[in-house]
């Protein structure tokens, strides 16, 4: 049985979460306007409480990783990319090229970028920590929820490192 829930928390205006019996399957974000930072609201449902508590702790700078299970689809290549991205330490970044090299596909950095863009669980698999190589005209690279939010997430992590 799939379940879905939305809530406001931390640096984002809305978080939409979809879960299966096995774990979180999707997490989507939308950013507030930079002038109006929002305070988090924890969902009232007991089933969502731990999940939202961990997210709240992340946005408060008290949590560096998450303990809840994931239930991800994706191709074997995408899963390899996501697994590598999940290893990037809190407050640090890697380039798309470095991720491609780490999965032993050194020329596949564009495919890595596409896989990162398809990451179904933002924040949990920290795709915001993957940036362009030095010297790029877009140093942060892209982000499905906007480069402004990517920058704010990276700044947040560097502040709370």
Q: Which residues are catalytic?
A: 127
Q: Residue 106: exposed, middle, or buried by beta-carbon count in 10 A (0-12, 13-18, 19+)?
A: exposed
**55 contacts 10 by C-beta, under 8 angstroms:** yes
Taking Cα atoms as reference points, which of 110, 121, 1 lies closest to residue 65? 121
What does the alpha-carbon distance between residue 63 and residue 40 come to, in Å, rounded to a whole number?
A: 15
């Amino acid at each position: 049985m799939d379940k879905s829930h939305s809530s406001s928390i931390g640096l984002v205006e809305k978080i939409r979460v979809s879960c299966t019996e096995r774990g979180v399957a999707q997490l989507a974000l939308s950013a507030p306007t930079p002038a109006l930072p929002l305070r988090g609201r924890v969902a009232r449902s007991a089933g969502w409480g731990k999940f939202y508590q961990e997210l709240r702790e992340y946005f408060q700078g008290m949590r560096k990783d998450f303990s809840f299970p994931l239930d991800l689809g994706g191709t074997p290549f995408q899963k390899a990319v996501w697994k590598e991205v999940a290893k990037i330490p809190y407050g640090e970044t890697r380039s798309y090229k470095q991720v491609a090299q780490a999965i032993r596909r050194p020329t596949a950095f564009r495919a890595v970028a596409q896989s990162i863009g398809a990451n179904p669980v933002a924040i949990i698999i920290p795709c915001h920590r993957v940036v362009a190589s030095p010297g790029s005209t877009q140093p942060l690279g892209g982000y499905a929820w906007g480069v402004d939010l990517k920058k704010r997430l990276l700044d947040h992590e560097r502040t709370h490192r």
